[in-house]
């Protein structure tokens, strides 16, 4: 029954993750000043190291990478690659949500359904998604379809498990309350279990977002199917090291932006997250 790997389970759920009281305005600074200053210092240090200590053509200076990034952006090449990667990633994550949430709800609500598929899940779960890349190419060929399919596969698991646990661990008192007011199984599922699981689902999507990006870029690198992943390979083969690092940096930026966007959405959608359950209001 230990289906859930530690990394699948949302770290913040139930813990004192971002506390928000629906009414009070959160005061989150727009910029993390200290963090930015530290990053700038680190870049300067790297710049100094690559200028005076490690003088290698394979290790470009941050300023060179910055210049390459700038050129890539103004010429539109890097933006186009990033756009393709983002589109593939986005399609994969969306499909994963559409597939995994209903399945997770079903498994969480029905022990019979869960027991039926448990064995298959236990078998498929430990299979690393990248191991399926050759299989994907064989079946679907090289291209967006393969990339999206593998991204869906990898991104589905955290959403599936978090939804499953969210539904299964829904507060029995809340469920009884709904039953007491005459709600049937379907209504309880829709009006209590699903919103209860929203906290976990959102956390699952956040985790899956990171995984989906990794998968998308990996498949792009391996299959040379385009996007930032392909750009990295291309630049590496052409020994355009600064451009290669610029593409790598772009992946990092994309990942950061995606995570920030998902986390922001999460705070909006499941605003009650830490409100009621742990408050000192109960008995």
What burial class does residue 205 get, using C-beta atoms within 10 Å of its C-beta: 0-12 exposed, 13-18 middle, 19+ buried?
buried
**If you search the block for the tokens 């506390």, which residue do you land on?**
19
Determine the size of the site formed for another protein (CB under 8 A). Answer: 29
Question: Minimal CA–CA distance to 248: which of 217, 281, 204?
Answer: 217
Least distance (Å) between residue 185 CB and another protein: 11
Query: Does the footprint of another protein cover residue 203 (CB under 8 A)?
Result: no
Give the residue with the Cβ less far from another protein, 179 or 240: 179
Which one of the spans 56-64, 104-112, 186-194, 236-244 is the region binding another protein (CB under 8 A)? 186-194
Q: Which two tokens stand for residue 242?
A: 């600064």
Query: What's the rounded Cα separation, in Å, for the pair 52 and 36?
Result: 24
Query: Does the footprint of another protein cover residue 15 (CB under 8 A)?
Result: no
- Cα torsion 128, 129, 130, 131: sign: positive
Figure out which of the listed residues 13, 97, 197, 198 binds another protein, where binding follows CB under 8 A.
Answer: 198
The answer to whether 241 and 48 are in contact (CB under 8 A) is: no
Query: Does the footprint of another protein cover residue 185 (CB under 8 A)?
Result: no
Query: Does the footprint of another protein cover residue 171 (CB under 8 A)?
Result: yes
Least distance (Å) between residue 100 CB and another protein: 21
Query: What's the rounded Cα separation, in Å, for the pair 35 and 262?
Result: 21
The answer to whether 277 and 200 are in contact (CB under 8 A) is: no
Query: Does the footprint of another protein cover residue 21 (CB under 8 A)?
Result: yes
Which one of the spans 17-25, 56-64, 159-167, 230-238 is the region binding another protein (CB under 8 A)? 17-25
Q: Which two tokens stand for residue 34?
A: 């200290």
Query: What's the rounded Cα separation, in Å, for the pair 270 and 59?
Result: 44
Least distance (Å) between residue 193 CB and another protein: 11
Least distance (Å) between residue 173 CB and another protein: 4
The answer to whether 161 and 114 are in contact (CB under 8 A) is: no
Give the residue with the Cβ less far from another protein, 27 or 180: 180
Residues near 53 by beta carbon (within 8 Å), at least 6 away in sequence: none
Figure out which of the listed residues 1, 22, 30, 52 binds another protein, where binding follows CB under 8 A.
Answer: 22
Query: Does the footprint of another protein cover residue 179 (CB under 8 A)?
Result: yes
Question: Minimal CA–CA distance to 212: which of 281, 139, 268, 156?
Answer: 156
Figure out which of the listed residues 165, 195, 220, 245 binds another protein, where binding follows CB under 8 A.
Answer: 195
Query: Does the footprint of another protein cover residue 181 (CB under 8 A)?
Result: yes
Query: Does the footprint of another protein cover residue 282 (CB under 8 A)?
Result: yes
Query: What's the rounded Cα separation, in Å, for the pair 199 and 162?
Result: 9
Figure out which of the listed residues 9, 168, 191, 267 binds another protein, where binding follows CB under 8 A.
Answer: 191
Q: Which two tokens stand for residue 225?
A: 């199917």
Query: What's the rounded Cα separation, in Å, for the pair 250 and 221?
Result: 14
Give the residue with the Cβ less far from another protein, 196 or 225: 196
Query: Does the footprint of another protein cover residue 122 (CB under 8 A)?
Result: no
Give the residue with the Cβ less far from another protein, 34 or 283: 283
Footprint of another protein (CB under 8 A): 21-23, 171, 173-174, 176-182, 187, 191-192, 195, 198, 270-272, 275-277, 279-283
């Amino acid at each position: 029954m230990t289906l859930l790997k530690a990394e699948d389970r949302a770290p913040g759920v139930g813990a004192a993750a971002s506390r928000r009281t629906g009414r009070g305005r959160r005061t989150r600074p727009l910029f993390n000043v200290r963090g930015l200053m530290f990053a700038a210092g680190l870049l300067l240090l790297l710049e100094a190291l690559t200028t005076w200590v490690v003088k290698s053509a394979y290790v470009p200076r941050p300023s060179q990478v910055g210049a390459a990034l700038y050129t890539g952006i103004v010429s539109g090449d890097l933006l186009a690659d990033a756009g393709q990667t983002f589109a593939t990633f986005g399609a994969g994550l969306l499909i994963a949500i559409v597939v995994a949430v209903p399945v997770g709800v079903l498994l969480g609500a029905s022990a019979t359904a869960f027991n039926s598929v448990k064995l298959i899940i236990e078998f498929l779960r430990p299979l690393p998604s990248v191991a399926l890349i050759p299989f994907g190419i064989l079946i679907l060929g090289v291209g967006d379809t393969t990339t999206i399919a593998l991204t869906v596969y990898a991104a589905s698991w955290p959403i599936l498990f978090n939804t499953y646990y969210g539904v299964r661990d829904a507060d029995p008192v809340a469920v009884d309350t709904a039953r007491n007011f005459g709600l049937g199984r379907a209504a309880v599922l829709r009006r209590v279990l699903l919103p209860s699981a929203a906290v976990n689902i959102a956390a699952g999507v956040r985790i899956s977002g990171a995984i989906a990006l990794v998968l998308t870029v990996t498949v792009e690198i391996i299959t040379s199917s385009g996007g930032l992943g392909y750009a990295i390979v291309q630049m590496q083969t052409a020994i355009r090291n600064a451009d290669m690092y610029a593409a790598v940096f772009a992946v990092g930026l994309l990942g950061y932006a995606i995570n920030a966007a998902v986390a922001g959405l999460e705070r909006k959608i499941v605003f009650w997250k830490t409100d009621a359950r742990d408050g000192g209001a109960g008995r």
